[in-house]
């Protein structure tokens, strides 16, 4: 009899823990800006300061204010000078901002660019994209 009671207690505890806890705080959807970040499809000249285009789409439900590219890192055989770019533009929900870092590029081969975007609402998001560079000619598929 004691074994059955112990078994039932353990079973109720396991079953009880498997249900999600629903409170008033986590029933509503969080609102605010969210970003979808990547490289924009293009063929560009890397010796100009706007040779690489970054696509930032606001997939959230509110406007993102003063969007800033806070970090750009590139892995591959690429030389570039990294600078923080403050676009200081607002992105409405569902719209896309195409921006360029104020950076020159030169290299050879495949590369991966990782971008970090922030805004005044305290949202920070990171995205990446791949491309190919031949000298100063940049190809992003």
Residue 11 lies in a domain: no
From residue 117, alpha-carbon distances to 13, 30, 38, 128 in Å are: 44, 19, 11, 11
Number of structural domains found in the chain = 1
Residue-wise pLDDT for 95-138, tens only, equals 998 888 777 888 999 999 998 999 999 999 999 999 999 888 88
Residue 17 lies in a domain: no
Average pLDDT rounded to a whole number, residues 88-95: 89
Residue-wise pLDDT for 24-52, tens only, equals 443 445 578 889 998 886 777 776 666 78
Provide the domain limits for residue 71: 33-140
pLDDT at 14: 56
**Looking at per-residue confidence, does 81 or 96 come out higher?**
96
Name the one residue in this structure whose structure tokens are 């059955």. Answer: 4
């Amino acid at each position: 009899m004691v074994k059955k009671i112990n078994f039932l207690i353990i079973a109720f505890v396991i079953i009880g823990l498997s249900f999600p806890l629903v409170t008033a705080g986590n029933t509503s959807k969080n609102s605010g800006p969210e970003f979808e970040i990547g490289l924009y499809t293009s063929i560009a000249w890397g010796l100009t300061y706007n040779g690489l285009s970054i696509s930032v789409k606001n997939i959230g439900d509110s406007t993102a204010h003063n969007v800033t590219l806070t970090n750009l890192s590139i892995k591959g055989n690429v030389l570039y000078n990294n600078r923080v770019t403050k676009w200081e533009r607002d992105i409405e929900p569902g719209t896309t901002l195409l921006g360029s870092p104020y950076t020159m590029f030169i290299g050879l081969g495949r590369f991966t660019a990782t971008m970090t975007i922030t805004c005044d609402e305290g949202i920070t998001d990171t995205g990446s994209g791949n491309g190919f560079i031949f000298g100063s000619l940049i190809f992003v598929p």
